[in-house]
């Protein structure tokens, strides 16, 4: 699938109104279908027959009262549901950061719950308009009214489930776990079982191609751009990656030689947007987890246990990366590099995970100790020397922060002991 189409689908997932609108449309069509079945008498079926006693069997006045009650109650509950959702979003924004709002807005369960209440309201209205009394041309769509009763019961169960879901979804451990699951999916997508090809280390050269408008790089269609470069026998060097912000007029790529259609091909392969997207950015979920930890360490919240939990989840992500290889950013065609683009390396991942947490955890013995423990556990499963050296670098930074900011001698001695245990695991990097 084209990267631009994937980015467009990603944006559709951020639209809170889309799924409720589809559910409402489906309920309106279902109401029309139920009324049509009442008038069609397919295979001799008659819902108003005395033999058919499993559904609604009352008259027009009772039908109108019942449908009115269902419609009015569901629109009221829909307003309550929306208010609860807004309250949850406000709490999430204040306690965990505004970038976490995307996770709540994209939650299909919240959207479908709102759609069920609004859809039941719309269903009841559509059926209500067809009910006619004796003074008019009498008509009571018994089958459609029975459907309204079923939807009302579904709405009652949905309300109970929704309260439970909101209560659990705003729990900090649940939020951290959900974001970590997204991070695990990103690791599976952006890592390989075998090492990739390496490209030229020379500085980019050739004709520079600038972006026509600014924005965040949301997606890149590497295969399409590599195929174009191979067909035109040129080499393309991209200077940006998903998650980077591109100012207007910034040269985002270099082409080895001038070729017609190069600018259109590159701009078509690189999708820019107003905000970062998780589609191809492996650091997106990392930044969300780090933001949770940094806010937890702020003086207004002062929750080192949450920060420690985030560090544990980040360590799990590094352990998942240990047996795999990261992308090199080189795309080959017929054994020749035709596209080179920047990618996140292991050092960059570790920096994104630990730098801000360490900087904001100054003096927090619990968090600094947890960081040393996590680094030691990752070092036990890591077999590459350069990665072990990177883990050792961060352990050195952690113990340096502890020596600078931890005043209590016993606390500092505990951290020094954890640091020595880390060094026994990575003797190669201890030089």
Query: Would residue 328 count as lying in a domain?
Result: yes
pLDDT (average), residues 420-424: 92
Tens-place pLDDT, residues 156-173: 999 999 988 888 888 888
Tell me: do 319 and 350 sit in the same domain. Answer: yes
- Which helix H or strand E contains 192, and what residues bound it? strand 191-192
Tell me: do 118 and 184 sit in the same domain. Answer: no
CATH of the domain at 280: 3.90.1170.30
Give the chain's domain count: 2
Query: Would residue 386 count as lying in a domain?
Result: no
- Which helix H or strand E contains 207, and what residues bound it? strand 207-210
Residue entry with tokens 């960059």: 348
Q: How far apart are CA 193 and CA 188, in angstroms?
A: 10
pLDDT (average), residues 244-253: 88
Asked which of 111, 143, 170 is the last residue of a domain, the reply is 170
Closest to 353 measured CA to CA, from 319, 382, 323: 319
- Which helix H or strand E contains 218, and what residues bound it? strand 215-220
Query: Would residue 76 count as lying in a domain?
Result: yes
Tell me the residue range of the domain where 23 lies: 3-170
Q: How far apart are CA 346 and CA 393, in angstroms?
A: 13
Tell me: do 300 and 348 sit in the same domain. Answer: yes
What region, left, alpha or beta, does residue 344 occupy, with left being phi > 0 and alpha being psi -120 to 50 degrees? beta
Sign of CA dihedral 343, 289, 97, 358: negative
- What's the gap between Cα 126 and its chain centre? 36
Q: Is the pLDDT higher at 415 or at 4?
A: 415
Tens-place pLDDT, residues 349-364: 999 999 999 999 988 8
Say what the pLDDT of residue 421 is: 93
Tell me: do 212 and 117 sit in the same domain. Answer: no
Q: What dihedral do alpha carbons 21, 22, 26, 28 form, nearest 10°?
A: 20
- What's the gap between Cα 213 and its chain centre? 25
Helix ranges restricted to H, 14-141:
18-40, 60-96, 101-105, 108-128
Say what the pLDDT of residue 189 is: 86
Tell me: do 281 and 347 sit in the same domain. Answer: yes
Tell me: do 296 and 249 sit in the same domain. Answer: yes
Query: Would residue 367 count as lying in a domain?
Result: no
Of 30-44, 68-82, 387-401, the least confident = 30-44
Asked which of 360, 376, 406 is the last residue of a domain, the reply is 360
Tens-place pLDDT, residues 304-349: 999 999 999 999 999 999 999 998 888 888 888 899 988 889 999 9
Report the chain's mean pLDDT, rounded to a whole number. 85
pLDDT at residue 110 greater than cutoff 70 = yes
Q: What pLDDT band is residue 99 in, cutting at 50, 70 and 90?
A: confident
Q: What pLDDT band is residue 48 in, cutting at 50, 70 and 90?
A: low
Q: How far apart are CA 185 and CA 322, in angstroms?
A: 15
Q: What pLDDT band is residue 430 in, cutting at 50, 70 and 90?
A: very low
Asked which of 311, 328, 360 is the last residue of a domain, the reply is 360
Query: Would residue 78 count as lying in a domain?
Result: yes
pLDDT (average), residues 210-235: 86
pLDDT at residue 102 greater than cutoff 80 = no
Q: Is the pLDDT higher at 42 or at 241?
A: 241
Say what the pLDDT of residue 86 is: 82
Whether 113 and 85 have beta carbons less than 8 Å apart is answered as no
Contacts with 37 (C-beta within 8 Å, 6 or more apart), sequence order? 45, 47, 143, 144
Tell me how far CA of residue 19 lies from CA of 12, 90, 108, 355, in angstroms: 10, 22, 8, 39
Query: Would residue 159 count as lying in a domain?
Result: yes
Q: What are phi and psi of 135, to 5 degrees?
A: -60, -30
Tokens of 77: 């509950």
Angle at 226 between CA 220 and CA 232, to 5 degrees: 135
Contacts with 352 (C-beta within 8 Å, 6 or more apart), sequence order? 283, 286, 287, 290, 344
Tens-place pLDDT, residues 266-297: 888 888 888 888 778 888 999 999 999 999 99
Say what the pLDDT of residue 362 is: 80
Tell me: do 128 and 210 sit in the same domain. Answer: no
Tell me: do 241 and 136 sit in the same domain. Answer: no
For 122-140, give one letter per residue: b (16+ CB within 10 A) or e: bbbbbbbebbeeeeeeeeb
Say what the pLDDT of residue 152 is: 94
pLDDT (average), residues 51-80: 83
Say what the pLDDT of residue 43 is: 47
Tokens of 422: 């880390």
pLDDT at residue 5 greater than cutoff 80 = no
Tell me: do 13 and 115 sit in the same domain. Answer: yes
């Amino acid at each position: 699938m084209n990267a631009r189409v994937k980015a467009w689908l990603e944006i559709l997932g951020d639209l809170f109104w889309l799924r409720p609108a589809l559910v409402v449309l489906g309920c309106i069509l279902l109401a029309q279908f139920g009324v049509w079945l009442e008038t069609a008498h397919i295979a001799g079926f008659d819902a108003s027959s005395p033999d058919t006693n499993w559904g609604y069997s009352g008259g027009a006045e009772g039908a109108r009262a019942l449908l009115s009650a269902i419609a009015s109650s569901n629109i009221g509950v829909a307003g309550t549901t929306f208010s609860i959702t807004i309250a949850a979003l406000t709490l999430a924004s204040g306690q965990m950061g505004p970038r976490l709002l995307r996770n709540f807005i994209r939650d299909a369960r919240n959207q479908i719950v709102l759609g069920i209440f609004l859809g039941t309201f719309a269903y009841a209205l559509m059926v209500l308009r067809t009910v006619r009394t004796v003074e008019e041309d009498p008509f009571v769509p018994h089958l459609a009214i029975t459907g309204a009763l079923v939807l009302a019961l579904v709405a009652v169960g949905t309300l109970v489930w929704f309260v439970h879901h909101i209560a659990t979804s705003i729990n900090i451990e649940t939020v951290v776990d959900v974001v970590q699951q997204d991070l695990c999916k990103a690791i599976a997508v952006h890592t390989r079982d075998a090492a990739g090809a390496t490209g030229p280390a020379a500085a980019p050269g050739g004709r520079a191609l600038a972006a026509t408008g600014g924005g965040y790089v949301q997606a890149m269609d590497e295969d399409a751009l590599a195929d174009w470069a191979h067909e035109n026998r040129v080499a393309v060097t991209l200077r940006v990656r998903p998650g980077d912000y591109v100012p207007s007029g910034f040269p985002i790529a270099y082409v080895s030689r001038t070729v017609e259609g190069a600018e259109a091909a590159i701009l078509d392969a690189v999708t820019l947007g107003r905000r970062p997207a998780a589609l191809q950015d492996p650091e997106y979920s990392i930044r969300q987890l780090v933001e949770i930890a940094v806010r937890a360490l702020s003086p207004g919240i002062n929750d080192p246990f949450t920060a420690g939990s985030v560090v544990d989840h980040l360590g799990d992500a590094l352990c998942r990366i240990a047996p795999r290889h990261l992308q090199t950013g080189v795309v080959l065609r017929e054994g020749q590099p035709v596209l080179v683009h920047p990618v996140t390396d292991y050092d960059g991942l570790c920096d994104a995970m630990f730098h801000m947490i360490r900087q904001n955890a100054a003096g927090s013995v619990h968090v600094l100790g947890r960081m040393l423990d996590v680094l030691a556990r990752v070092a036990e499963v890591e077999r590459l020397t350069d990665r072990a050296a990177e883990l050792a670098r961060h352990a050195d930074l952690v113990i340096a922060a502890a020596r600078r900011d931890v005043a209590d001698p016993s606390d500092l001695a505990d951290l020094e002991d954890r640091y020595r245990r880390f060094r026994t695991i990575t003797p190669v990097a201890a030089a």
